Amino acid sequence: MSALLGTTGNNADYEPYLKELGAADTRDDIIASSDYCPITNLDKADIAYEWQFNGINDYETMQITRNGDQIDRKKVPGTMTDDQVKLSNNFKKLFSTYVNGLGLKNSDGNSLWFYRC
């Protein structure tokens, strides 16, 4: 989302929609955009992320509890289940198939293809 926002500030294409919504008539400059992994094809984001991060099966979550006025934070390690790993592997393959199916070509007319994992 940050990649999309970072490239659309003050874009005239959005003016009619903003006006229709009653948005303030002012600029919406984007000063900077920090894009950790800017997957912008939101229809294929799930399979794109699995292609990008497949094989990273350990993670941490943050457990947040409140004790009176004090907020306690604790990192909790986790590992994907066998079923989650299988799903990740299947999604990874789906993304390669999707990209290869686009029929992309370079400036010389040669086909570009993703390595099928």
pLDDT value for 116: 57
* Helix extents (H) in the chain: 2-8, 15-21, 45-53, 82-100
Which two structure tokens, joined as six digits, stand for 90? 């299947």
CA 43-45-46 angle, 5° bins: 110
Residue 7 vs residues 23, 45, 87, 88, 115: alpha-carbon distances, Å: 19, 18, 32, 30, 29
pLDDT value for 114: 67
Give per-10-residue mean pLDDT for the chain (117 aa).
Answer: 79 90 87 76 89 94 94 96 96 90 91 69
pLDDT value for 107: 92
Report d(CA 5, CA 64) in Å as an integer. 30
30 Ramachandran zone, left/alpha/beta (phi>0; psi -120 to 50):
beta
Domain boundaries, the chain: 1-38, 41-117
Query: Model-level pTM?
Result: 0.58
Report d(CA 21, CA 5) in Å as an integer. 18
Report d(CA 102, CA 113) in Å as an integer. 9
